[in-house]
Amino acid sequence: MKPAPFDYVRAASVEDATRALLAATGTAMVLGGGQSLMPLLALRVSPADVLVDIGRIEALRATAQIPGGQRIGASITHAEIEDGKVTDHTGGLMRKVAAGIAYRAVRNHGTIGGSVALADPAADWPVCLLALGASVRIAGPNGERVEPIDQFLRGAYTTSLEPGEIITAFDVPTPPTGARIGYTKVVRKSGAFAMSIGCVVRAPGGGSATVTLGGTTTRAALMLETSQALAASTAPSEHELRVAIAADLAEAAPDADAYQLRLHTATLLRAVKETLS
């Protein structure tokens, strides 16, 4: 199928994009890398009257060191992170995540901003950025606001974005020196969306840990009990971890069947074990 007819606006600046989104007659949508939006339009799942293309806005491609971390522009592509064109300050986590998204043609165009804006529970960036404690920078008609990604993500395909707002960048904290990182995902076939993704960022020697889960969940979710179990002990037993994971899954994946629960449990245990060895 082909998309229904739409108007196209190429925004020259963030302000220009905001103005165009608000001035549009009908449904206006931001066009990032187009890797999710264009198929959705072609399938007529997501109708748009106007597409506002933000791909040529240089400000959205900026990266910078900030106190305690790095700012990454929303229009940075998966491939640019995979190729190390953006310094990976996360001990290799972001490069690994980028390299595992879809296949190279999608990674060449798809952006980190578009991925988080879509808020697909099975997408990689929301799970990773949540584990890293990132914040989302958003520009809109009332200026700029910054929101922790945990608050920004509201549910499957639902975020706090208001009409006229766009994601401009992410502030991604640097993990503690020597942090142990785990990232595991289960896909049916190479290049497909994940059925389960587990991510762990753990301070060396314990003390603090963040565990997140995505896939067939309601959204990328913090696994609070598992994080606590991992922070409380340098070598928690598998039984302790399984009890904590089961409690977290009851919240994060309330509709999961027995197969999905086993899958998520295995994914999380594998990601945790990567941080224990």
Ligand X SMILES: Cc1cc2nc3c(=O)[nH]c(=O)nc-3n(C[C@H](O)[C@H](O)[C@H](O)COP(=O)(O)OP(=O)(O)OC[C@H]3O[C@@H](n4cnc5c(N)ncnc54)[C@H](O)[C@@H]3O)c2cc1C
**Which of 23, 21, 27 minimizes the C-alpha distance to 6?**
27
**Which listed range, 61-69, 119-127, 202-210, 232-240, lies at the site for ligand X (CB under 6 A)?**
119-127
Examine residue 113 and tell whether it contacts ligand X (CB under 6 A).
yes
**Strand duo 50-53 + 28-31: pairing:** parallel
Examine residue 36 and tell whether it contacts ligand X (CB under 6 A).
yes
Examine residue 34 and tell whether it contacts ligand X (CB under 6 A).
yes
Q: Which of 9, 11, 29, 245 binds ligand X (CB under 6 A)?
A: 29
| Cα distance between residue 111 and residue 74, in whole Å | 7
Q: Which of 86, 118, 181, 230 binds ligand X (CB under 6 A)?
A: 118
User: Is residue 11 classed as helix, strand or coil in its secondary structure?
Assistant: coil
| Residue 203: Cβ within 10 Å count | 18
| Cα distance between residue 205 and residue 178, in whole Å | 9
**Which listed range, 24-32, 64-72, 249-257, 260-268, lies at the site for ligand X (CB under 6 A)?**
24-32
Is 269:237 a contact under the CB 8 Å cutoff?
no
Sequence-distant (6+) residues with CB within 8 A of 270 are 182, 184, 198
Closest approach, Cβ 167 to ligand X, in A, equals 4
x-or-dash string of contact with ligand X, 62-81, rule CB under 6 A: ------------x-------
Report the residue number, 110 or 198, with the smaller CB distance to ligand X.
Answer: 110
Helices 258-276 and 238-252, interaxial angle, to 10°? Answer: 130
**Which listed range, 4-12, 107-115, 175-183, 231-239, lies at the site for ligand X (CB under 6 A)?**
107-115
Q: Write out the residues near ligand X by the rule CB under 6 A.
A: 29-37, 39, 54, 74, 101-102, 106, 110-111, 113-115, 117-118, 123-125, 161, 166-167, 191, 193
